[in-house]
């Protein structure tokens, strides 16, 4: 777990992750409303070199951006009671990085290997990031994030 006590720390963690991701990486971002998922996604996309404004794709579900690597940003909140496959495999295997908010709502479509960041809201400027990894590559990404200089 990583204690996060400022937006600056969230930004550093997102930037650090953006530096080490590669094509076809899938990152899950989960947490309650207001936990900071979209803020993390914005920092992450900017660190990938995305020039466009990154906002929550809640109504579109998926938005794609150009950066150092192509970046797919998904917000699956509206899919809570749906079993619709929107061609997720095509996104996961498109030589891009895919970051998914509310991934629990598409659990059946997720790749087995992935990095999961669960953000827990503690108070106004305090969060806890719990990071889980499945697969050797994602274990390495997790180790980079656990590095002491990323945290307060």
Q: β-pairing, 97-101 with 71-75?
A: parallel
Please state, rounded to an integer, the average pLDDT across all residues of the chain.
Answer: 88
Q: Residue 91: is its pLDDT beyond 90? A: no
Give residue 152's pLDDT: 42
The CATH H-level (homologous superfamily) assignment of domain 2-150 is: P-loop containing nucleotide triphosphate hydrolases (3.40.50.300)
What's the burial of 151, exposed, middle or buried (CB within 10 Å: 0-12/13-18/19+)? middle
**Residues 9-14: what's their mean pLDDT?**
95
Give residue 129's pLDDT: 95
Give residue 90's pLDDT: 80
pTM above 0.85, yes or no: yes
Give residue 132's pLDDT: 96
Q: What is the pLDDT of residues 37-58, one digit of tens each?
A: 999 999 999 999 999 988 876 6
Q: Residue 34: is its pLDDT beyond 90? A: no
Q: Which alpha helices (H) appear in the chain, and where do they start and end?
A: 7-20, 37-47, 88-92, 136-146
């Amino acid at each position: 777990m990583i204690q996060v006590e400022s937006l600056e720390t969230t930004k550093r963690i997102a930037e650090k992750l953006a530096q080490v991701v590669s094509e076809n990486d899938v990152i899950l971002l989960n947490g309650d409303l207001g936990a900071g998922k979209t803020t993390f996604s914005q920092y992450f996309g900017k660190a990938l070199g995305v020039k466009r404004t990154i906002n929550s794709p809640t109504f579109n579900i998926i938005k794609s951006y150009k950066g150092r690597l192509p970046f797919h940003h998904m917000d699956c909140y509206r899919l809570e009671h749906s079993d619709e496959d929107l061609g997720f495999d095509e996104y996961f295997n498109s030589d891009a990085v895919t970051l998914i908010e509310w991934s629990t709502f598409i659990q059946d479509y997720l790749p087995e290997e992935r990095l999961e960041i669960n953000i827990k809201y503690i108070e106004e400027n305090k969060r806890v990031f719990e990071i889980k990894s499945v697969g050797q590559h994602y274990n390495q990404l997790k180790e980079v994030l656990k590095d002491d200089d990323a945290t307060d």
